[in-house]
Amino acid sequence: MLSVNRITKTYNLDLVLDQVTFSIKPHERVGLIGVNGSGKSTIMRILIGEETADSGTHQLSPYDLTVGYLSQGLEIPESLSIGAYLSSLAATTEDIEGKFQRISTALSNEPDDLILQKEYDHLLTQLSASVSAQSSVAEILPVFGLDAFDADTPTAHLSGGQKTRLILAGILMANPQLLLLDEPTNHLDISMLEWLENWLNRYQGAALIVSHDRTFLNNTVNAILRIDTRSHQIKRYEGNYTTYLEQRLNEQEREWQSYQNQQEEIARLTASAAQVRSKATFRKGGKSDVKAGTDGFTAGFFKNRALETIRRAKSIEKRVDRLMTGEDHFDKPKPDWEMKIDFSEIPESGRDVLVLENLVIGYQQPLLDEINLILRYGQRCVLTGENGSGKTTLIKTVLGQMPALKGGVRLGSNVKVGYMAQEQENLPPELNPYETMYRLGLMNETQTRYHLAKFLFKGDEVFIPNQNLSYGERARLTLACLVADGCNFLLLDEPINHLDIPSRTQFEQALSAFQGTILAVIHDRFFIERFATEIWQVENHRINQIIVA
């Protein structure tokens, strides 16, 4: 269905993909994983035709395969309304109908033209899928929770999750035979994640899915493609994410064992070569170290024996060279480069960190009513619920960025709040990572560079403007600022959306070791199971408190 052959791609002489080769068969759902910057989105853009590979090819089979593509960014013009966006999909049907009529006329004049026949069949398939899509609008939109909006509602008024729903609805309405999904789980609440998982498991086409959501991968894919950051190539593993992880760990163990065996062999051969050489010593000029007065036959015998010994030593040393630098060499295995998050000592706060009393929040109409909750020191609380239910509004109300409609918000004594926004919009776009960190006034130049290096900003990368950073890079920079600032109460609004799996694992470990208090909006079920001590579940305009055992 999809065949990729030896694709290579560089940016400014930096190699990203090196002769990448893989294929996807009908009905396969394949996960594409790798650290941020390894080339996952680049592969997607090459496949969709938004970028061109330096070399290599990719091919669809059949050639007229319909493809649905969800990009990582939410690319809906904010000037469009929901109705206008959906109408733009309908315009596609009109375009296809016009082309179909023209091809039908041409084919009636030249019925034996094979090219016209193929084009006719291709357009007929597209038209059938498009008409089917339009007829399913009424069925799909309620599933995505978008039927409650007026058609004139600007897309700018939608939350991140609602925009993702709208784009997914548009893609699925087109009934594609191959799905290319670049981080489809970002901004989706748990109920929508479960719906998408069920839909994908019933989907009859093939799918290539870039995702860092381990539970989502476990529940949807039957193979994993991993991009290696050192070789810039792809390796395939059969099974879901858990199966991949088991295979990868076994693979790493074998790599370590091969490397250790090689080092032991090198040490043994080096010692053996030294021992052999010690049996034959020569003066300068190459003469054998034989006592004076020895007859010529005896002297020649010992000299020849010494030369043979040297040859044996050299032979052993050549074997050592092959093991160290030749084709028999094993590189020392290295873990994927990960962030080194270390929340330093933080000041303690009062026992009651956040107190919500008879709180009502929203805009003109309440989103959440009569909230009476207390968050105590050291708790790690997850705030979860459907998109648009008021989670981000609650966070902004706690921060004082929005006024409460009723009731009060009170922070405890000695509480220092650190906030990570959903889209990292609190990063000054005109600054770069170095300037952003240095302006905190907490470190000198050397300390600033060293601290940023822990979060994978090295060399000239620290001078790239924030507005040009990728989603994952912005998330890393925001984390770097929170860590440096010594906050003891973290408000995290979907903090791991754009973090790769190794970085999510590191972030989980760091938050587990964090001595302060955390209130986080998170939809990653794998993360929640390992992180939360308490859950605030938003449902029916109320918050239900769930203590995790």
Question: Is 394 part of a structural domain of the chain?
Answer: yes
Domain hosting 132: range is: 78-159
Question: Is 400 part of a structural domain of the chain?
Answer: yes
Report which of 519, 518, 469, 525 is spatially closest to residue 498, judged by C-alpha positions.
469
Question: Is 147 part of a structural domain of the chain?
Answer: yes
Q: Residue 371's beta-bridge partner residues?
A: 359
Q: Tell me the CATH number at 454.
A: 3.40.50.300
Report which of 246, 181, 252, 183 is spatially closest to residue 213, judged by C-alpha positions.
183
Residues 314 and 356 reside in one and the same domain: no
**Number of domains the chain contains:** 3
Question: Is 344 part of a structural domain of the chain?
Answer: no
Tens-digit pLDDT profile for the chain (549 aa)?
Answer: 899 999 999 988 889 999 999 999 988 999 999 988 888 989 999 998 889 999 999 998 877 778 888 887 656 777 788 777 776 665 455 556 666 677 788 878 888 777 777 777 766 665 555 555 454 455 666 767 777 777 788 888 777 677 777 887 777 766 788 999 998 887 788 888 888 898 888 888 899 999 989 999 999 999 999 998 888 999 999 999 999 988 988 887 887 787 788 787 778 778 777 777 676 654 444 444 444 445 554 555 455 666 777 777 777 777 777 777 766 666 676 665 566 776 667 788 889 999 999 999 988 788 898 899 999 998 999 999 887 788 889 999 999 998 999 999 999 999 999 898 876 677 888 999 999 999 888 889 898 998 888 887 888 889 999 888 877 778 788 888 888 888 889 999 888 877 788 878 877 777 777 888 999 998 888 888 888 889 999 988 899 998 886
Residues 412 and 505 reside in one and the same domain: yes
Distance CA 146, CA 159 (A): 12
Question: Is 403 part of a structural domain of the chain?
Answer: yes
Report which of 141, 189, 147 is spatially closest to residue 539, judged by C-alpha positions.
189
Q: Residue 178's beta-bridge partner residues?
A: 67, 206
Last residue of a domain, one of 159, 185, 213: 159
Distance CA 270, CA 96 (A): 73
Residues 480 and 383 reside in one and the same domain: yes
Last residue of a domain, one of 102, 135, 159: 159
Question: Is 296 part of a structural domain of the chain?
Answer: yes
Question: Is 469 part of a structural domain of the chain?
Answer: yes
pTM of the full predicted structure? 0.67
Residues 357 and 321 reside in one and the same domain: no
Strands 206-210 and 178-182, by their bridges, are parallel
Residues 433 and 476 reside in one and the same domain: yes
